[in-house]
Amino acid sequence: CNDRTMAAATIDDAPGKRPRQGDGPGDGYFESYSYVGIHEEMLKCRRTDAYLKAIEHLAPHLAGKAVLDVGCGTGILAIACAKAGARVVYAVEASEMATHAAQIVSSNGWAPTVKVLHGRMEEVELPEQVDVIVSEWMGIFLLYEAMLDSVLIARDRWLRPGGLLIPRRARLWLCPLRDDGFRAERLDFWSDVHGIDMTCLRALAKAELCRKPRIEEVPPELLAASPACIADLDLATVQPAALKTVQSDVDFTSHVRASLLGFVSYFDVELADGEWLSTAPEEGPTHWQQVSFWWDTPLDISQGETLQTHVSAAQNVANPRCLDIRISCKLAARHPPGSVTQSGRDPASPSGLSSLASHALAPSHPTRLEKTFALDTLC
Amino acid sequence: CNDRTMAAATIDDAPGKRPRQGDGPGDGYFESYSYVGIHEEMLKCRRTDAYLKAIEHLAPHLAGKAVLDVGCGTGILAIACAKAGARVVYAVEASEMATHAAQIVSSNGWAPTVKVLHGRMEEVELPEQVDVIVSEWMGIFLLYEAMLDSVLIARDRWLRPGGLLIPRRARLWLCPLRDDGFRAERLDFWSDVHGIDMTCLRALAKAELCRKPRIEEVPPELLAASPACIADLDLATVQPAALKTVQSDVDFTSHVRASLLGFVSYFDVELADGEWLSTAPEEGPTHWQQVSFWWDTPLDISQGETLQTHVSAAQNVANPRCLDIRISCKLAARHPPGSVTQSGRDPASPSGLSSLASHALAPSHPTRLEKTFALDTLC
């Protein structure tokens, strides 16, 4: 195996990934959390360590308080809050895992403190307002699954004014990816398959690679610019309506002359004051991995050149747990002629970069190129 | 990661694995072979090297002959036969890949020899009888996908008497697996999850592990006895009806006292005289991996003790490309008392083996135990 190979899967191919179904009864969203395997994967992910550490640090804010855990799963965070001194923890879980959570709570001696409520957050009744809401609601591309919607409903209904949210803030990041021979490495395979020229499959192979957002571990050295924050959610104030469409205009200025493969996105959340859980490529694997978007053709960018980018992620109309993600971008020159171009050529072509100067445009004159990813849905 | 961790997936979870759908138009069986990714995986698998080497060795038998390639995919084997001197190769492919195969054949200069026919094998017409049939038809557990049925139909209709089949023979193997702490390693996780006792999830986790046949790489050191051949098909003579249900009674005599995890199965095919392509665990990875069947409870076996096993694999009635696999077994003593027992205990219990003697039975007296895997279908 090649070290540089991304362990790639589209969302369709990712069985251990978070559920892909909708919301109605019996459609599989909550059912998928009834399996132990998905909890094992989440518990083994460093997200759990990060939450437990943050809860421990927040002990002074939890002592004697009423806590609500939205989507408690096995109950691990609810118990951690109890251990940290909470007076009572309401642990709400819609899947059948609630039954097991109640057993775990009881066999660990936390039944007096942790009350497991089996039901949907939108429907359960709590006996009181709470001081703290804890939840691990993040999906792929942060918002996939739309579980944050349930957390905000819980906040508006059950959190006392000024109450604490864990996490308190969430950010979604986008960054252009260097190709760096990456795509060619995959596609060059077809030019000599056991001595047979299968170049005619190259275009088809490329289309398959680019067809959908890719859930994969992206090597951090492929990041081509400083990442840009495309959504910064203060969970105490963000309104549910704002989650229906998240969009942002961001500029990336390339540090180097490079051929771009597309974009990568990842997120981070602030669990406690200054304590972040980040799923960035350089932070090491999580079960979320990253989401990458590959262009059909590479985009050549020069040093100092700016990629004006618009990104939007909208909840799918038919299934709000899914996302329709669109990214469009164009090059705008900041520097003198000779530094700006876009090419439809394949990066595999070694002569690709030498002819750039002839396509150079005037400074500050945006190229005509505009590319919208035909990657509509993360479902 | 743990070296001993099997890279496990049930057939549901295995996207790159061979197609899971049925046979009707539009139901996805042939469509799934329209994607380039599946061909890339197969071409990179050592099965391709083995076929190409065998075809090269068979050149004296191919020179000047008419060859039929059943399910030619990208056309690689058809071209190899042409290179080896075949007069004409009829390359039949039902999926859209046929169009690309024709292009590949043409751009490599083999159009005069290799005729790509886009259609189902059962429906295409050849202008003549052929001397050789080549096909890579093997599915998971050898028979999954039922593509061999199409090869036999082609044989009966188009192969001249005494013609050559590549492969000529196929064998399916079964072997008991040592637990060797394997299952406990997975399940012990639940007894201390970040300091919380989740033992109540252990049974559920075990049930999930055992629910279905597992497509995985099995470490060869887990093989507990000499493997037994449960089907040995001479492709020149085997009748299509015989593929509807393959069944066998086999005995395994344990070399060691061990706790058994279940069974593993794999296959091999003879491509040319004495040249085998084997998917056995000790032969290294292939895209087929192996199929393992895990018991709900381990079975303790003593040295020299015999596990009388009955296995059957029947084509599913609703979808003949799927298999209903059943394995039942019982222990029969061959040696003096003290060597025979079965235990329903979990291998995680360190005291498990010490109490075996008290359960000992008279020699040659089969234990009452009989276990049928509730693993019905590989779909």
**pLDDT average, residue stretch A65-76:** 98
pLDDT tens-digit readout, A142-151 = 999 889 999 9
Nearest to A194 among B76, B189, B208 (CB): B76
pLDDT score of A349? 34
Q: How far apart are CA B15 and CA B217, in angstroms?
A: 16
Mean of the per-residue pLDDT values of chain A: 84
* Residue spans per domain, chain A: 12-136, 170-182+210-375
| Residue A46, burial from CB neighbour count under 10 angstroms (0-12, 13-18, 19+) | middle
The band of B378, judged by pLDDT with boundaries at 50, 70 and 90, is: low
The residue among B55, B59, B57 whose CA lies nearest residue B47 is B55
Check whether A378 has a pLDDT greater than 80.
Answer: no
pLDDT band at B208 (very low <50, low <70, confident <90, very high): confident
Average pLDDT score over residue span A85-106: 97
pLDDT at A367: 52
Which of A189, A197, A199 shows the shortest C-beta gap to B40?
A: A189
Identify the weakest region by mean pLDDT among A184-193, A369-378, B63-72: A369-378
Average pLDDT, chain B: 84
Task: Please state, in angstroms and rounded to a whole number, the distance separating the CA atoms of residues A254 and A214.
Answer: 23
Task: Read off the tokens for A56.
Answer: 């421990």
CB within 8 Å: B201 and A49: no
Residue A217 distance to chain B (closest CA, Å): 16
Residue B348 scores a pLDDT above 80: no
Q: Is the pLDDT of residue A346 over 80?
A: no
Per-residue pLDDT, averaged over B319-329, amounts to 87
CA of A300 to nearest chain B CA: how many angstroms apart?
27
How confident is residue A162, by pLDDT bands cut at 50, 70 and 90? very high
Neighboring chain B residues of A74 at a CB cutoff of 8 Å: 193, 198, 201
Q: What's residue A5's pLDDT?
A: 38
pLDDT value of position B362: 42
Which of the pair, B146 or A20, is modelled with greater confidence?
B146
**Pairwise CB contact (< 8 Å): B194 & A107:** no
Could you tell me which residue, B153 or A184, shows the higher pLDDT? B153
| Closest residue on chain A to B78 (Cα) | A196
Q: How confident is the model at residue A234 (pLDDT cuts 50, 70, 90)?
A: very high
CATH number for the segment(s) A12-136: 3.40.50.150
CA closest to B204 among chain A residues? A36
Q: Which of A112-121, B18-27, B266-275 has the lowest mean pLDDT?
A: B18-27
Say if A12-136 and A170-182+210-375 have the same CATH topology: no
Under 8 Å between Cβ of B361 and B305: no
- Of B41, B128, B136, B283, which one is the catalytic site residue? B136
pLDDT at A353 over 60: no
Look at A32 and B99; give whichever has higher pLDDT.
B99
B164 pLDDT exceeds 50?
A: yes
In tens, the pLDDT along A292-342 reads 998 888 888 988 899 999 999 999 888 888 888 888 888 886 554 443 333
Contact (CB, 8 A) for A106 and A82? no
Round to whole Å and give the CA distance between B105 and B75. 7
Cα dihedral angle (A151, A153, A155, A161), rounded to 10 degrees?
A: 160
**The one catalytic residue among A93, A136, A270, A305:** A136
CB A84 within 8 A of CB A61: no
Q: What is the mean pLDDT of residues A357-367?
A: 41
The answer as to CATH 2.70.160.11 being correct for domain B170-182+210-375 is yes
Read off the pTM. 0.83
User: What letter represents residue A117's amino acid?
Assistant: L
Confidence label for B307 from pLDDT (cuts 50, 70 and 90): very high
pLDDT at B369 over 80: no
Measured in angstroms, the CA of B204 and the nearest CA of chain A are apart by 7
Say what the pLDDT of residue B283 is: 97
Judged by CB atoms closer than 8 Å, whether chains meet at A199 and B107 is answered as: yes
**Cβ of B193 and A52 within 8 Å?**
no
Lowest mean pLDDT among A38-52, A78-92, B207-221: B207-221
Pair B196, A108: CB distance under 8 Å? yes
> What pLDDT, on the 0 to 100 scale, is given for residue A254?
87
Interface contact flag, B194 A48, Cβ < 8 Å: yes
When comparing pLDDT for B290 and A26, which is higher?
B290
Q: Could you confirm whether B128 is annotated as catalytic? A: no
pLDDT band of residue A30 (cuts 50, 70, 90) is confident
Listed in sequence order, the DSSP H helices in chain A are: 36-44, 46-57, 59-62, 76-83, 97-107, 147-158, 182-187, 202-210
pLDDT at B332: 81
d(CA B59, CA B71): 21
Q: State whether the Cα torsion B297-B302-B308-B312 is positive or negative.
A: positive
CA A85 to chain centre: 32
Mean pLDDT throughout B215-235? 95
Question: Do B196 and A108 lie within an 8 Å CB cutoff?
Answer: yes
Q: Rounded to whole angstroms, what are the CA distances from A371 to A182, A297, A307, A324?
A: 20, 10, 11, 16
For B59-68, what is the mean pLDDT? Answer: 98
More confident of the two residues A194 and B353:
A194
Instruction: Verify whether residue A31 is a known catalytic residue.
Output: no
pLDDT at B27: 59
Q: What percent of chain B has pLDDT over 70?
A: 80
